[in-house]
Structure 1
């Protein structure tokens, strides 16, 4: 009887010891990967506006640091107008229309700059703004995008019967004809439409790689280039298992493990959208899979096959 009690007690202690080790190991999560820094950037608002001769228009800026966070704009931003005969601009971002035409307004801080368009009209029969919709399109190499344009005068009234000339800012990435955009290679290009000599603000076309998740994850993943930065984007409907500790996001070439894969980030939340910056030395076509992997215990919890 005493021997049985001793064995039983030993078994209980052994079980508790193993259980404690498991609990401790689950709490000892590996160190996070340092977030990838990206170039600082400026944005101008609005990106396009119009005024009559003699009127003024105000532009403002937003500034983003090297982690992509919006912070207060620097106080020493410089402003210029590409055509001072059309409009002048103060160092507070206030432009004055001088003659009919269009000028590019540029804001500069150190090596970072952003641009917007200002159209100056002499009467309300002239084209004041050209707008492309949608302003952002996302396609793969096998897809096309359809863009439309609208034209308004300085009063915001639509002008009909106009014809646009379409231009791609990078024909190696996308080509455009009569608003139909064709993908040529992965990356981001701007498309503009010009009517009566007045250019639109650019519409952005992103040629991406994307795929749905399998293997215990739902939603999708895509690789895109935005502001010259490669990103992995998990869709808003993404979800994965809540059970394993220490899930990480990887880029790799093996759907069964993370050998030779690149670890990008810890998956702190198990559902919802997430954008992860990728190191600059990695190209958009370098890896085939976006992987969700338990770093601490091993095991694949999501595979998105982006294709070759």
Structure 2
């Protein structure tokens, strides 16, 4: 009889371990992941704005980003050109030579991908060589404004004071600008430039975004923005939610308590901190009201940010 009880207890213990193991596997198992959205490849030129004296040279370099937005080695067959060959020439190593006073656009091209920078050629160090807008990137909502400033320098990098800029918006349907004061007109991204003594700045990027604060077991900020013509959901540095539930996903939703008719975007990589997710080009920045963190396996909201109507 004692042997029977011992065998029975061992059997129950083994069954318990098996059920417990299955439970652990179930709680940690994730459902099928969503494929990330690919975006257009892009080039960037550095420096974005440069100056040089007549007869001197300056070298431009490139950075290349793949269709997931990751930096990778720049292709070897990038071609270079100057928009004004009387002002400056450039060879296929990215070395530009100043020929006469003025400003030219330097363009780098790889297949169908292009990037541009500005080169100013001066005759003396008393002239305006570079105009820089600060900040170079501003995010505002439709109810906000941004104030931009300028830094004007000579070829030696010395500040020139007392100059007045002429301001221009590259897309007045999105933002307007007057004396450095930017007003949002619609959602999207527009470039703003400032010109001093005929010398133009590199563009400052103005992003008109939607922004919301997480509630319902989440905290911090979410943003919807358009960058490089791609809609993105951005969980800000201050974002946080519970680290306990498995299989948390990021959604765009019209409801604040479920994911009926919502769009699943990506896995939540971390329960806190910054995360950027690209959104399909078929979705507009105004299509959904909420950014939601949802447990796909078991259901439940672990953060919802109201982006406003």
Fold conserved between structures, TM > 0.5: yes
Q: Deviations 1:175-224 (Å, cap 9, x if unpaired)? A: 00000000000111110000111000111111000111000011110001
User: In 1, Cα distance between the equivalents of 2:120 and 2:18?
Assistant: 75
Quote how far apart the aligned CAs of 1:151 are: 1.0
**Structure 1: runs of 5+ lacking an equivalent:** none
After TM superposition, the structure 1 = structure 2 runs for residues 284-303 of structure 1, keeping only pairs within 5 Å, are: 284-303=285-304
SS of the residue 1:67 aligns to = coil
User: In 2, Cα distance between the equivalents of 1:244 and 1:175?
Assistant: 45
After TM superposition, the structure 1 = structure 2 runs for residues 43-82 of structure 1, keeping only pairs within 5 Å, are: 43-82=44-83
1:216 matched residue in structure 2: 217
TM-score by length of 2: 0.94
Q: Are 2:37 and 2:280, in contact at CA under 8 Å, matched by a contact in 1?
A: yes
SS of the residue 2:23 aligns to = helix
Quote how far apart the aligned CAs of 1:24 are: 2.8
1:153 matched residue in structure 2: 154
Residues matched between the structures, number: 306
User: In 2, Cα distance between the equivalents of 1:268 and 1:173?
Assistant: 33
After TM superposition, the structure 1 = structure 2 runs for residues 19-98 of structure 1, keeping only pairs within 5 Å, are: 19-98=20-99
After TM superposition, the structure 1 = structure 2 runs for residues 1-308 of structure 1, keeping only pairs within 5 Å, are: 19-308=20-309
Q: Are 2:269 and 2:275, in contact at CA under 8 Å, matched by a contact in 1?
A: no
Q: Deviations 1:244-291 (Å, cap 9, x if unpaired)? A: 110000001000100110001111311111001111111100000000
**Structure 2: runs of 5+ lacking an equivalent:** none
User: In 2, Cα distance between the equivalents of 1:35 and 1:287?
Assistant: 19
User: In 1, Cα distance between the equivalents of 2:306 and 2:13?
Assistant: 46
User: In 1, Cα distance between the equivalents of 2:231 and 2:96?
Assistant: 35
TM-score by length of 1: 0.95
User: In 1, Cα distance between the equivalents of 2:11 and 2:214?
Assistant: 46
Quote how far apart the aligned CAs of 1:238 are: 1.0
Q: Are 2:66 and 2:72, in contact at CA under 8 Å, matched by a contact in 1?
A: yes
Quote how far apart the aligned CAs of 1:160 are: 1.6
The ranges of structure 1 where at least 4 consecutive aligned residues each deviate by more than 3 angstroms after the TM superposition are 7-21
User: In 2, Cα distance between the equivalents of 1:145 and 1:215?
Assistant: 31
Q: Are 2:146 and 2:182, in contact at CA under 8 Å, matched by a contact in 1?
A: yes
